[in-house]
Amino acid sequence: MFDCAIIGAGPAGVTAAIYLRRNYFKVAIIEKNCVGGQIINSPMIANYPGILPTDGASIAYTMSQQLENYSPHFISSEVIDIKKDDHFTVICKDEEVEAQTVLVCSGMHHKILGIKDEQKYLNKGISWCATCDGTLYKGKDVAVVGGGMSALETCIYLSRIVNKIYLIHRRDSFRCDEFLVNKFMSLNKVLKKTEICFNEEIVGMNGKDHLEQLVLKSGRTLNVDGLFECIGFEPNTNFLANLSLINQSGFIIVDKEGNSKVDGLYAAGDVISKDVRQITTAVGDATIAATSIIKRLRNVVF
Ligand code: NAP
């Protein structure tokens, strides 16, 4: 029996594992992909104190080394259900994990546009990760859809690789900090790679076996080899369907200690219902939740 089963090894899960292991609790950390979560897709992280601007994959690598130093029991699997009686049973695809407490740090996954023919081009021209797939489009024309931090960071990253970028945004202002907007605008003044298409939406996609063309709401067509979809995320909470602790959008509702309606099942990071989703806030949520779990496991009365 573990003291705590942590689901997800992104910044929140790794933070919690460090706190719990530094107090010698028995911890299982379950991750279906790799350590780092969404940050491995980020071409540049420049807003975490103590770390000079670097790519997300490098931070994820350091996190995995740090995690190894604290040797939690690492399980490479996907969680499909959680049951509670006098303790929790976390049901994974390949095994079951018994634990006194659970901390869900399962983060989010990319949203897709949901338009006709999109499924046909997923991974055949449609991508979500410039760091992973950018070089496939060296010297080619691509589009980026979205108007948040991911979209602008993707344009900045791609502008040194591709020939031309069409940035397609459904409104006429960006949803991100001014510093990034200024950085993007100044770089674009010099490189002149990005054409900003404000108040536009993608309504159609064409191509034989691979994406070749986008059709916009205005009727304009764009010939592109790739489309980077940067339109936000949805929470990874399908495995919680049997426990009524998520809001209408699928995010987990927690109290100020990180505890959910199912007592002993805590959550932290992007997967919880909150306004600000950053690495800094994920790490903060996880610190609070792990500290509460430690007090609980030591039977400290609040
Ligand atoms: P986001 O902030 O949710 O922005 C999504 C963008 O896509 C918005 O501009 C939105 O338009 C647009 N959009 C959403 N659904 C759409 C649809 N169906 N069709 C067309 N456009 C659509 O997503 P994000 O940029 O991926 O960022 C997610 C979170 O991660 C944010 O909290 C962000 O601050 C954080 N983040 C942080 C960093 C960093 O700190 N380095 C980097 C990347 C992301 P509207 O504006 O009209 O809603």
135/213 same-domain check: yes
271/256 same-domain check: yes
Task: Give the pLDDT confidence of 227-265 residue by residue, as tens digits.
Answer: 999 999 999 999 998 888 899 889 999 999 999 999 999
pLDDT band at 94 (very low <50, low <70, confident <90, very high): confident
Atom of ligand 1 nearest to the CA of 231: 7
* Mean pLDDT for the stretch of residues 66-90: 96
pLDDT band at 302 (very low <50, low <70, confident <90, very high): very low
For ligand 1, say whether the CB of 227 is within 6 Å of any of its atoms. no
3-state class (DSSP) for residue 7 = strand
CB 50 within 8 Å of CB 26: no
78/141 same-domain check: no
34/180 same-domain check: no
CATH number, domain at 85? 3.50.50.60
- Which residues are CB-contacts of 194 (< 8 A; sequence separation ≥ 6)? 155, 159, 164, 165, 166, 167, 184, 188
219/180 same-domain check: yes
Using only the alpha carbons of the chain, give its radius of gyration.
21
76/150 same-domain check: no
129/274 same-domain check: no
The alpha carbon of 41 and the centre of ligand 1 are apart by a number of angstroms equal to 14
25/91 same-domain check: yes
187/250 same-domain check: no
46, pLDDT greater than 90: no
201/237 same-domain check: no
Global pTM value: 0.82
Domain tally for the chain?
A: 2
Strand partners, 252: 246, 272
- Which residues are CB-contacts of 193 (< 8 A; sequence separation ≥ 6)? 155, 158, 159, 162, 163, 164, 165
Task: Give the pLDDT confidence of 166-213 residue by residue, as tens digits.
Answer: 999 999 999 999 999 999 999 999 999 999 999 999 999 999 999 999
Find the helix or strand (DSSP H, E) in which 14 lies. helix 11-21
For residue 285, the enclosing domain spans 2-110+233-298
Atom of ligand 1 nearest to the CA of 169: 21
44/106 same-domain check: yes
User: Domain end: 229, 256, 272, which one?
Assistant: 229
pLDDT band at 45 (very low <50, low <70, confident <90, very high): confident
Task: Give the pLDDT confidence of 126-149 residue by residue, as tens digits.
Answer: 999 888 789 999 999 999 999 999
